[in-house]
A = this chain, B = another copy of it.
Amino acid sequence: MKNKKVYLSIFFLEKIAPLSSELKQFFQSNITTHIYKKGTVLNESGQLCDSLYFIKKGMIRGYHVIEAKEITTWISIDNELVTSITGFFKNENARETMQTLEDTAVEYISYDNLQKALALFPEMNQIFTALLIEYYIHAENRTLLSRIPSAKGRFHYFLETGNKFLLNRTPHKYLASMLNIRPETFSRILKDFNRED
């Protein structure tokens, strides 16, 4: 008798709204798992991103290339959903590149299967909407953060909005990029911060 796999992403979705057993069964049959080595590019800017990933364990960043420089716009870790949102949800080519910053175990579902789920299971629409709102809020927070005038201000806002633990887990150059600060300046701000505190 075959063992049923346990998918963390299903638990994750259940916390948003209850899933019918049919929908759970659907996920059970359509989720794929994979482990990516640190540094792997999941999806390149300009390619179609047709997967929605759930990070079981690990870290992924999204970045854009502007004026020949990488600009990191988000970093996600364990128990978060990630995709190249603009590309995935409109089923168009992604504008950002996604890359793992640690060895990363993911569960994922394809665009087509997600659309199927939306068509077949009414409760899926509810979940999908809730997720979009959640993601919108993240985007709004990032927007606000990056408009704080001083580098120090952005750094502290970043810490105060629940990201402090990333200091010990993410290479600082990516945090610096996300905060629109040069690594050298980041290092200096961090020194001051550790001194005060």
Contact = CB atoms under 8 A, between A and B. Distances in A.
Interface of A: 64, 66-67, 69, 71, 73, 85-86, 89-90, 125, 128-129, 132-133, 135-137, 139-140, 142-144, 146-149, 153, 157, 178, 180
Given A71-B147, A90-B137, 8 more contacts: A66-B144, A86-B136, A89-B136, A129-B129, A132-B133, A136-B136, A146-B147, A146-B180
Contacts of A180: 146-147, 149
Interface of A, secondary structure class, is: helix
Given A125-B125, A135-B136, A136-B85, A146 B143 contact: yes
A194 B117 CA distance: 52
Contact of A133 (B69, B90, B142, B149): B90
Contacts of A69: 149
A80 to B, nearest CB: 16
A137 B142 CA distance: 13
A134 to B, nearest CB: 9
Given A71-B148, A125-B129, A143 B136 contact: no
Interface centre among A67, A135, A143, A180 (most CB of B within 10 A): A143
A145 to B, nearest CB: 9
A19 B139 CA distance: 30
A193 to B, nearest CB: 17
Given A129-B128, A136-B85, A144 B73 contact: yes
Interface centre among A64, A66, A90, A136 (most CB of B within 10 A): A136
Given A129-B132, A136-B86, A136-B89, A67 B144 contact: no
